[in-house]
Amino acid sequence: MRLDYYHTGDAKQETFSLDRVVLEPLLWPGDLSKSIDTTNLGKYSFEVRDQKTKQVLYSRGFASIYGEWETTDEAATIKRTFSESLRFPAPEAPVEIVLKKRDAKNEWRDIWTHAVDPKDIFIDRSQQSAPAPLLAIQKMGDPATKVDLLLLGDGYTARETKKFVADARRLLDVLFATSPFKEHRKDFNVWGLCPPAHESGISRPSTGIYHDSPVGATYDAFGSERYVLTFDNHALRKVAQFAPYEFIEILANNRTYGGGGIFNLYSTVAVDNAFANYVFVHEFGHHFAGLADEYYTSDVSYNPGAERIEPWEPNVSALRAVTDVPAIAGDRRPFLKWKDMISPETPIPTPWNKAEFEKYSREIQKRRAKIRKDKLPENVMEALFREELAHERKMFAAEKYAGHVGAFEGANYEPKGYYRPEIDCIMFTRTAHFCAVCRRAIERIIGLYSNG
């Protein structure tokens, strides 16, 4: 069952209104014995409660486009409405859907409740036609016992269906060559749907390109030229409902560097860029495991919070207790989520050559902005990224605490006040590996959805 609703507001307030309740055409793909989410991840979460007994039947944490948008400059000046969806096993008796959000101290607060009676005649039970054949790209078992990943093609014409399949297999090989996905490939089913587009490619408004692609993916989300999202939730769900899925990756048929990822919503990647392999895995880390961006020198559209609260994401820390009690004898180690992974000899915070990195990175960002301003070919940008990656690898290899888990300042888009677990990780640079903390976070989610 799927509850579609509208999420409206601005930087100061938000409201919710029902759109529709839909009975999707396929059986629930998940393990009903793992219906309760114990990860405590997400800016939002929801519970499905039996209306009579108040027992929680199902719960999941998630993030949303609205949750990101409300931190942008635009949200301070106008109101906007976003379509969102909650999916859960179809109940047999009336239930209450309770939507929650973290407050300023990261505590959960109920913000909207809606009752659903499975016998309601206005639940949409219509039989619809699938927009494209469902492709079993990798089937390892019953959907109820596996993580079910759906790859959605966007901007592929009917003649480019074979390209979609080739792109999907290429990117999957990259994902499953990366630990810990590498060790858990057998725990994943991967499905493909590629509704045909009228023309090749997706929209890129900053360059005057507009396409009516089936899923609605577009560059320039929130004014960031590299950020690829779809704001058409109806189109997304209308296609996705014809596959058993828990996670969605949108493959955008484009060359320009770009992608995006939102926890428990979807992730995106422009498939033809030379760095598509990195983007695919990095953005899937956001979507799949709620991993935060660890970089902090690139421009982003979000405004920093008024204070440094402990983030809910598993791979960044404000290095302070929730209650902000003084550290024990000056030791901040007890306040780290990953304190059990730190060697006694590793100092906290962990020193690294931060000033040198920032100086080099600022120059790279200037050159990057000029490449876009001058509308130079994409291979020029790709060459810059290769240069940057080579420099970073050499620099990090010389660091005293390279390969050690610690608390390295600079993360979550901020140079000060937030810390990442290792000197390098695919959530920090365009490297090819996750740090130990991110690997553990990913494995926890795999365990929530598979019986491997």
Q: Determine the Cα–Cα distance for residues 307 and 414; give it in Å rounded to an integer.
A: 12
Indicate the pLDDT class of residue 175, thresholds 50, 70 and 90. Answer: very high
Q: Which residues pair with 188 in a beta bridge?
A: 147
Which amino acid appears at position 119 of this protein? K
Q: Which residues pair with 260 in a beta bridge?
A: 268
CATH, domain 135-290, list 3.30.479.10, 3.40.720.10, 3.40.390.10, 3.10.129.10: 3.40.390.10
Query: Other C-beta atoms within 10 Å of 331: how many?
Result: 10
Name the fold adopted by 2-116: Immunoglobulin-like (2.60.40)
Domain boundaries, the chain: 2-116, 135-290, 333-444
By C-alpha distance, which of 408, 452, 451 is closest to 429?
Answer: 408
φ/ψ region of 264 (left if φ > 0, alpha if ψ in -120 to 50, else beta) reads left
pLDDT of residue 90 exceeding 80: yes
Which amino acid appears at position 161 of this protein? T
pLDDT of residue 333 exceeding 80: no
> What number is the average pLDDT over the span 313-327?
71
Predicted local confidence at residue 299, as pLDDT: 72
Predicted local confidence at residue 322, as pLDDT: 42
pLDDT of residue 187 exceeding 90: yes
Percentage of the chain lying above the pLDDT 90 cut: 92
pTM, rounded to two decimals: 0.95
> What number is the average pLDDT over the span 70-77?
95
413-437: pLDDT as tens digits: 999 999 999 999 999 999 999 999 9
43-57: pLDDT as tens digits: 999 999 999 999 999
Predicted local confidence at residue 302, as pLDDT: 60
Predicted local confidence at residue 324, as pLDDT: 47
Alpha helices in 229-377 (DSSP H): 233-240, 276-289, 354-373
> What number is the average pLDDT over the span 102-110?
94
Predicted local confidence at residue 301, as pLDDT: 62
Task: Look at the block and give the residue holding tokens 């994409």.
Answer: 378
> What number is the average pLDDT over the span 384-403?
96
Predicted local confidence at residue 269, as pLDDT: 98
What is the three-class DSSP state of 388?
helix
- Least reliable range by pLDDT among 105-114, 276-285, 300-309, 423-432: 300-309
Predicted local confidence at residue 295, as pLDDT: 95
Indicate the pLDDT class of residue 232, thresholds 50, 70 and 90. Answer: very high
Buried b (16+ CB within 10 A) or exposed e, 363-376: ebeeebeebeeeee
pLDDT of residue 323 exceeding 70: no
Predicted local confidence at residue 305, as pLDDT: 66
pLDDT of residue 334 exceeding 80: no
Q: Which long-range contacts (CB under 8 A, 24 or more apart) does 448-451 make?
A: 448/34, 448/37, 448/38, 448/39, 449/30, 449/31, 449/34, 449/146, 449/147, 449/148, 449/246, 450/31, 450/145, 450/146, 450/147, 450/184, 450/187, 450/188, 451/31, 451/145, 451/146
Q: Determine the Cα–Cα distance for residues 307 and 13; give it in Å rounded to an integer.
A: 19
| Cis status of the peptide bond prior to 349, with omega within 30 of 0 | yes
pLDDT of residue 77 exceeding 80: yes
Q: Determine the Cα–Cα distance for residues 179 and 9; give it in Å rounded to an integer.
A: 40
137-162: pLDDT as tens digits: 999 999 999 999 999 999 999 999 99
* Token representation of residue 6: 């509208």
By C-alpha distance, which of 336, 364, 371 is closest to 350?
Answer: 336
The CA–CA distances, whole Å, from 237 to 197, 286, 359, 448 equal 17, 20, 44, 23
Q: Determine the Cα–Cα distance for residues 130 and 241; give it in Å rounded to an integer.
A: 9
Alpha helices in 4-109 (DSSP H): 65-69
pLDDT of residue 306 exceeding 70: no
> What number is the average pLDDT over the span 75-93?
98
The CA–CA distances, whole Å, from 422 to 62, 222, 289, 410, 429 equal 25, 29, 17, 11, 12
Task: Look at the block and give the residue holding tokens 């495991």.
Answer: 289
Q: Determine the Cα–Cα distance for residues 59 and 38; give it in Å rounded to an integer.
A: 9
272-285: pLDDT as tens digits: 999 999 999 999 99
pLDDT of residue 327 exceeding 70: no
